[in-house]
Every structure is written in structure tokens, then in C-alpha cells.
Amino acid sequence: MTFTEQFLDEASAVIRDLDRPGIDALVDVLASTRARGGRLFILGVGGSAANASHAVNDFRKLCAMEAYAPTDNVSELTARTNDEGWESVFAAWLRTSRLRAADMILVFSVGGGNLEKNVSPNLVAALQYAKQIGATVGGIVGRDGGYTATVADACVKVPTVNAAHITPHTEAFQAVVWHLLVSHPKLKAASTKWEGLR
């Protein structure tokens, strides 16, 4: 078997094993957030930050949902990192954004945050703050889901089918899942361009 065949077979296994009830639960909490006028804040680091930026566009444009990603403002992100520290950067951004109980945090992360291993402590701090406020928490994560999975109201864990490819599959399937979300009849409010051309 070639590497290409192996990788694509792994991707097929991820699709087969994706948590469908978890995805439906995520649809429901997103729909409830929008219905009550809540805002959506999508948090991610590294490749997941790029995914967060793209997803913000889709939720705003296709689902008519007010959505933001703190990582889209690189000036504020780096100023806060420099002046206050990486661990607090997202929580501080959410405070300034006046996060409220009606809002929702959606985490894109390979590991979901882990304080003991000092991986994505900024996600953990943001989630702790969100829980204090009473905001809804969702996630699309890999591995065991980390801290995100322990506190989320709805969380999709991308299954590990090969321990050597956790990161690429998790980040790739974040995109698959969020595109499913913005296409779901409970959330979709506008047609995509090419599908609208008849």
C-alpha cells in the first residue's frame, strides 16, 4: 500500500467513525445560540486558528450568525501575548468582548487543551472563563478531547485512526464538520454561490 492509499484509507475510517450524535448536538446548541441572539466565538491555535477564521466567515455569511475569531486580529493577539502572556490571551479578549451567557465558544483544537502538559493553556483559561459566565461551549477536537471535551455542552471528537496522523486528520476534519454544520437545514440561512447558480 502506498502512503497516499494509506492516508486516504485513514480518512475514510475517520468519516465512518465520526460521532454523528455529537455533530447533531453541536447543531442544536449552535441553533439555540443563534435563536437567543448569542454570538459565536471560535478559538483555535496554529492550523486550527486558520480554520477558525474560515469558519467565522461561513457562520456569518451562510448562517446569519454573529461570529468572531480572536486570532483574526493579529495586532491585539500579539500585544496581549507580549504584555500579558500567552495563557491569558483568549480569556482577556473575551472579557473585552463582554462575553455573556447567551454567547457560545467553539473550540477547534487537536488536543483540546491540557494544563498538566502545558498544551494550549490559553484555550483552557478561555473555557474556564466561559463556564464562569455561563456561556455555551462546543468543540471539534482530536485525541481524547482534552479539557474542551470535559466541559463542553456539545463536542465532536475526531477519531484517532493512526497515532502518527492525529494532527492532519483532526485539522482536516474540523473543516468537514464545520462545513456540515453551516450546510445543516437547522443553521443554513443563505445559499452558497455556486449552488445558487442555476
Q: Which residues lie below 8 Å from residue 152, measured CB to CB, with a gap of 6+?
A: 107, 137, 138, 139, 145
Q: For residue 101, is it within any domain?
A: yes
Q: For residue 193, is it within any domain?
A: no
Q: Return the H-helix or E-strand segment holding 163.
A: none
Q: What is the value of pTM for the model shown?
A: 0.95
Q: For residue 5, is it within any domain?
A: no
Per the structure, the count of domains in the chain is 1
Residue 159 · residue 140 · CB < 8 Å: no
- Predicted local confidence at residue 38, as pLDDT: 98
Q: For residue 195, is it within any domain?
A: no
Mean per-residue pLDDT, 107-120: 92
Q: For residue 10, is it within any domain?
A: no
Q: In which order are the strands placed within the sheet that holds 40-44?
A: 67-68, 40-44, 104-109, 136-141, 154-157
CATH classification of the domain holding 154: 3.40.50.10490
pLDDT in tens, 55-95: 999 999 999 999 999 999 999 999 999 999 999 999 999 99
Mean per-residue pLDDT, 1-28: 97
Q: For residue 2, is it within any domain?
A: no
Q: For residue 78, is it within any domain?
A: yes
Q: For residue 108, is it within any domain?
A: yes
pLDDT tops 80 at residue 172:
yes
Find the domain containing 152 and state its range.
17-188
pLDDT in tens, 144-169: 999 999 999 999 999 999 999 999 99
